[in-house]
Amino acid sequence: MARILFIYSTVDGHTLEICQRLQSIAEQAGHSPTLHELTPASMPDLSGYDRIVIGASIRYGKHRPEVTDLINQNLAILEAQPSAFFSVNVVARKPDKRDPDTNPYVRKFLSRISWKPAIVAIFAGKIDYPAYGFFDRTMIRFIMWMTKGPTDPKTTIDFTDWNDVKRFGERIASQDL
């Protein structure tokens, strides 16, 4: 039984949903998973875990700064333990943008940090126009219009391939890091 820490940075809660699914997979495999939301005021203690998974969403082309801060402050622990990273972004709704080598946000992020996670996954996110405030709804609709995505302000679309999430979770649970 491994102690697995799932750290997530989320804007609208979808990265938490993915972490909860990963937590369930780890529990079913007999592990002891812990979820921790990463906020500027809440940096977790990474010591005492057998595996560490960091999940972060993208908003307007960037992961939140506390993700980079966490990695920089805990680089030695992350390098010493089996660890993984996943990004949640709507650009990954396109099949050719679901790989670390083809997703521009993840490529840029990984090039700016020293940590080299054992595995990296990219999951398409979710658009929930009714839940957004005016500014976010307008900006995201504009971005979707430019990239030929959905723009109906009454629409909620989950682009996540939950089978990919399951495979990622099974890999973490099987110690294949």
Any idea where the domains of the chain sit in the sequence?
3-125+161-173, 126-159
pLDDT in tens, the chain (177 residues): 899 999 999 998 999 999 999 999 999 999 999 999 999 888 899 999 999 999 999 988 889 999 999 999 999 999 999 999 999 999 999 999 999 999 999 999 999 999 999 999 999 999 999 999 999 999 999 998 998 899 999 999 999 999 999 999 999 999 765
Can you give the pLDDT at residue 176?
A: 62
Q: Per CATH, is 3-125+161-173 categorized as 3.40.50.360?
A: yes
pTM: 0.92
Which stretches of the chain are assigned E, i.e. beta strand?
3-9, 32-37, 51-59, 62-63, 83-88, 119-123, 126-128, 156-158
Residue partners of 99: CB distance under 8 A and separation at least 6: 122
Residues 118-139 have pLDDT tens digits of: 999 999 999 999 999 999 999 9
3-state secondary structure of 7: strand
Two tokens, residue 163: 């089978």
CB 10 within 8 A of CB 37: yes
